[in-house]
Structure 1
Amino acid sequence: MNQPLAFRMRPTNIDQIVGQQHLVGEGKIIRRMVEAKMLSSMILYGPPGIGKTSIASAIAGSTQFAFRTLNAATDSKKDLQIVVEEAKMSGTVILLLDEVHRLDKPKQDFLLPHLENGRVIMIGATTENPYITINPAIRSRTQIFELKPLQIEEIESALERAIKDSDKGLGSLTIEISLEAMLHFARATNGDVRSSLNGLELAVRSTKPNQDGVIVITLEIAEECLQRKALTHDKDGDAHYDVISALQKSVRGSDVNAALHYMGRLVEAGDLPIIARRLMVIAYEDIGLANPAAAARTVTAVQAAEKLGFPEARIPLANAVVDLCLSPKSNSTYVAIDAALSDIRAGKSGDVPDHLKDSHYSGAKELGRGVDYKYPHSFPGAWVNQQYLPDKLKNAVYFEPNHTGKYEDSLARQYDTINKMKKKS
C-alpha cells in the first residue's frame, strides 16, 4: 500500500462523505443532483483537507462516470484535450480541476463549450473565494458550493473508520489508540481530515507492536507524528473547558495579555469552532450595549476566520479579542433576559392582554381580540400608554441599563423618559 491512507480512504459513494451534510445530507442539493442523475458543473471552495476531492470522488463513484483529476496551474491545455476526447468516446467525464482559480484564458476558452454541452462535468476545487478569484465566464456555467470546516467528531469518525477498514484502511493490524491520542489527531490538524489520516498512518506504521502484537498509539506518539503538542487534557477534558472559561473571564476583566494567552492555547489545540462560538457569546454577554459595534466586528472577524482556516484565522480572532478586552462592558441585556426567563419558568406568565391578541381573522372582534389596541404610530412621538405585559406581571421590571457610554446612556435616557410618561398617564 504505497498510497497514503487519506487517498485510500476516499469515499466511493456519497454516503461515505465525512461532514458537509448541508450539501450531501438527505434532501440536500448535491445528493439531490446525484440521485436525480442531473449533475452540473460546480465549484467547491473551502480550506484544505475538508472534502473537496472526496465529494468529487464520491459523485463519480455514485454515478459510475469516468473520473479524472487535473490541476489548473500545472496541467496543460493538451491534458484538457485528452479528457475531452475521452468524454466524446464515453459520453461523460467528471473532471476534478484543482486550483480552478488559476485557470488561464486559453484553457478556459477551450473548456467552456464542453461545460455547456455537459460532455465534461467539471468540479472545480479552490481555497479561494470564487466570487473574487474566478472568471465570471466560468462562474456563470457552474454552481458554487462552500464547504464548512469539519467538526472534531466528524474527523474522529473518519479515523475510526480507517482503523476498522481491513480492505483500504488499517483494519488488518491490531491497534490500541488512547482517547487522548485520538482526540489529538482530530483536533491538531485544524479541520484537515487528510492530515489527520496521514498522521495516524505514520503513527501506526512507525510504532513497533508490543509482545502481544498490539500497536499501541499514545498521546506522545500522536504529538510526535503530527509535530504539534497537545493542549493539556484530563480524561474528561476538564482542562480544556478551564481554558475556555479563562478566556471569557480574562476578556470580561479587560486583561488583553491573559486573553491572548488563553486564545493562543485554543488556537494551538485547533479549536476554531469553539473559539468562534465563545467570542460571539462574550461580545453579546459581556460587552453588549456598551459597544454594539464591537459585537458586529466580532461576528465579521469570526466569519473571516472560518473562511480562512488556521493558521491565518488567528489574525482576525486576535483582532476581536483585543477589541472586546478594551471595550466598555455591560451585561444589562443578559441580566434582563435571564430575569424574564426566571419569571416564566416560575410559572409567572398569564394571558396576553386581549387588545394585543391577533385580530386578523373572522370573528376576532366578537371575541374582543385587538379591539382596544392603540396604534403607537398614530400618536405624537409614536408612543401611547397602554398595558403590554400580562396582568400578573404588569409592573414587572427586567431591564436596568448600565451607564457604560454614549450608546447605552442614550438608551437609558429614552427608557427613563418612557417610564416617566407612563407614571403621568
Structure 2
Amino acid sequence: MQQPLAYRMRPKKIEDIVGQQSLVGPGKIINRMVKAKSLSSMILYGPPGTGKTSIASAIAGSTQYAFRKLNAATDTKKDLQIVAEEGKMSGTVVLLLDEIHRLDRTKQDFLLPLLESGQIIMIGATTENPYINISPAIRSRTEIFQVHPLTPDDIQIAVKRALNDQENGLGKIKIKLDDDALHLLTTGTNGDLRSALNALELAANSTDADASGVIHIQLQDIEECLQKKLLSADKNGDAHYDVISAFQKSIRGSDTNAALHYAARLMEAGDINSLTRRLIVIAYEDIGLANPSLCARTVTAVQAMEKLGLPEGRIPLADIIIELCISPKSNSGLTAIDAAIGDVKRGHFGQIPPYLKDAHYSGAKKLGHGINYQYPHDFPNDWVKQQYLPDQISSANYYHPKTNGKYEKAFANQYQKIQNAQRGH
C-alpha cells in the first residue's frame, strides 16, 4: 500500500523544511544545533500539520542519527525500552514522541535518565501548551519551541514541490491545477500543510484524466476534497482557547465585526457549545450591571439557538452578539465578588453579628442568636440602619459602581444613598 503524499514528501534534511524559518532557517537555533551536531531534547508545540514531525525527521536525516517515532499515549514502556537499547548500541537515537502531553508517570520515569545521558534525543510533539500540560520534570530537561501555522506562500511552495517531485510526489502524473484551486488549497486549511497535501492527493486520485492524459484539478474538486474548512478550533487544543479568548475580548472591546468573525469560526468548527456558554459568561462578566436585561436576553438567545439548531440558530446568536458589542459595559459585579473572595482568602472575615445568626431552632435565644435583629420590612421604605458585616471588616467596600449605562447609574445613586445612611452621613 502506498504511503500518503504528506508522508512521502517529508523532508530528509533541514534545508528542505517548508516554513518555521525562525527555528530552522540559516543561523537559527535548530539549524545551528544540527550544523554543530550538538542536539538537545526539545518540545515542538503547535497546531496539527505545521511541521513538527518534519522538523524531527529532518534533524535525524541531517545528522545521520537513527530516527524512531512513538506515541506517548498508545505505545508502551516496552517500545521505549527498544528505542533505548538502539540508542545504547548506536550512541544516539532521535525519538519523535508524539502527544507527549499524554506521557504517563511510568514512561516518564523511564525516559528521564535517558534524556539526561543523551542516549535518546527526544523531540516531543504536542498541540497542547507545554507550560500547562507537560510535567515540570520533562520541561526542565528540554528546550521548548513553538511552531506556527504555515503561511499560504509556504503551503504553495510545498504543493508545487509535490506536483513536480517524480520520486516521492506526483511528478509522474500530468496534473493541471487551476489558480483558484491552488489558492483554496493554500488558504483553506488554516496553515495545515498535511491537510493541503492530503486534499491534493485525493483530488488527483479521484479526478479522471482527459483525452491527452492530463488530470485537470478545478476549484470544485478541491472544495469537495477539503470539505469542511479545517479551522484550528479543536475542543482541547490551544487554538480552541485562542478563538474563545479573541471572541470575548472583541465583544469586551465593542468590535462587532471581529466578534462575528470569531463566532463564525466557532460555528464552522462545530463548537456551538463553547460559543453559547461563553456568550452567557460575557453577558454577566463584561456587560453586567450596565445593562442587566441584556444578560437575561442572552440566556434567551442561547435557549432559542438550542431549540432551533443550525442553521437557523445562528440568527438569534448573531443578534445577541451585536447587542453585546454595542451595549455599555461594566465589570463591577466581577470586581466586587473577587474583592470579597480576596478578603476571605486572606482571613478577613470575623464573627457574624449574633443578631444575624440562625435563630429558628429551640435554644437559639439562650446562645444570643437572633436577639435584637431588626426586620427591615417593619420600617419605612423597608430599610433600617443595622450592621451586617463582622466588626473586624465593618467598613469593607467591595462594590464600586460604574456609570456607563443608565441602569448602573441608577444603582450607583441608590447604593450611595444606602451607604451614606448606613454610616450616618
TM-score bin, normalised by smaller chain: 0.5 to 0.7
Name the CA distance, whole Å, in 1 between partners of 2:322 and 2:61.
48
TM-superposed CA distance for 1:188, in Å, is 1.1
Q: What is the aligned partner in structure 1 of residue 21 from structure 2?
A: 21
Q: What is the aligned partner in structure 2 of residue 287 from structure 1?
A: none
Contact 1:60 1:66 in 2 (8 A): yes
Q: What is the aligned partner in structure 2 of residue 142 from structure 1?
A: 142
Q: Secondary structure at the residue paired with 2:221?
A: helix
Q: Secondary structure at the residue paired with 2:184?
A: helix
Residues 1:103 and 2:103 are matched in the alignment: yes
Q: Secondary structure at the residue paired with 2:132?
A: helix
Name the CA distance, whole Å, in 1 between partners of 2:264 and 2:39.
44
Deviations 1:382-415 (A, max 9, x none): xxxxxxxxxxxxxxxxxxxxxxx9xxxxxxxxxx
Name the CA distance, whole Å, in 2 between partners of 1:66 and 1:322.
56
Q: Secondary structure at the residue paired with 2:122?
A: strand
Name the CA distance, whole Å, in 2 between partners of 1:108 and 1:323.
50
TM-superposed CA distance for 1:326, in Å, is 3.0
Name the CA distance, whole Å, in 2 between partners of 1:258 and 1:118.
51
Q: What is the aligned partner in structure 2 of residue 74 from structure 1?
A: 74
Deviations 1:354-398 (A, max 9, x none): xxxxxxxxxxxxxxxxxxxxxxxxxxxxxxxxxxxxxxxxxxxxx
| 1:269-418 correspondence to structure 2 within 5 Å | 325-326=325-326
Contact 1:176 1:216 in 2 (8 A): yes
Q: What is the aligned partner in structure 1 of residue 217 from structure 2?
A: 217
1:140 and 1:259, CA in 2 relative to 1: closer, same or farther beyond 3 A?
closer
Residues 1:3 and 2:3 are matched in the alignment: yes
Q: What is the aligned partner in structure 2 of residue 116 from structure 1?
A: 116
Instruction: Letter of the 1:185 partner, please give it.
Output: L
TM-superposed CA distance for 1:323, in Å, is 10
Q: What is the aligned partner in structure 2 of residue 166 from structure 1?
A: 166
Residues 1:63 and 2:70 are matched in the alignment: no
TM-superposed CA distance for 1:228, in Å, is 3.6
The structure with the larger Rg is 2
Name the CA distance, whole Å, in 2 between partners of 1:267 and 1:211.
44
Name the CA distance, whole Å, in 2 between partners of 1:62 and 1:163.
24
Name the CA distance, whole Å, in 2 between partners of 1:14 and 1:258.
41
Name the CA distance, whole Å, in 2 between partners of 1:109 and 1:64.
28
Taking only the aligned residue pairs, the percentage that are identical comes to 62
Q: Secondary structure at the residue paired with 2:181?
A: helix
Q: What is the aligned partner in structure 1 of residue 133 from structure 2?
A: 133
TM-superposed CA distance for 1:186, in Å, is 1.2
Deviations 1:318-377 (A, max 9, x none): 9xx96995389xxxxxxxxxxxxxxxxxxxxxxxxxxxxxxxxxxxxxxxxxxxxxxxxx
TM-align CA RMSD: 3.0
TM-superposed CA distance for 1:214, in Å, is 0.6
1:80 and 1:2, CA in 2 relative to 1: closer, same or farther beyond 3 A?
same
Residues 1:36 and 2:39 are matched in the alignment: no
Name the CA distance, whole Å, in 2 between partners of 1:147 and 1:111.
24
1:95 and 1:259, CA in 2 relative to 1: closer, same or farther beyond 3 A?
closer
TM-superposed CA distance for 1:189, in Å, is 1.1
Q: What is the aligned partner in structure 2 of residue 49 from structure 1?
A: 49
Name the CA distance, whole Å, in 1 between partners of 2:85 and 2:212.
55
Name the CA distance, whole Å, in 2 between partners of 1:65 and 1:76.
23
Name the CA distance, whole Å, in 2 between partners of 1:163 and 1:264.
36
TM-superposed CA distance for 1:256, in Å, is 7.2
1:39 and 1:229, CA in 2 relative to 1: closer, same or farther beyond 3 A?
closer
TM-score (norm 1): 0.57
Contact 1:188 1:268 in 2 (8 A): no
Contact 1:71 1:100 in 2 (8 A): yes
Name the CA distance, whole Å, in 1 between partners of 2:6 and 2:88.
32
1:209 and 1:104, CA in 2 relative to 1: closer, same or farther beyond 3 A?
same
Deviations 1:29-59 (A, max 9, x none): 0000000010010000001110000000000
Gap regions ≥5 residues in structure 2: 231-249, 270-317, 329-403, 405-425
Name the CA distance, whole Å, in 1 between partners of 2:123 and 2:323.
40
TM-superposed CA distance for 1:217, in Å, is 0.4
1:78 and 1:259, CA in 2 relative to 1: closer, same or farther beyond 3 A?
closer
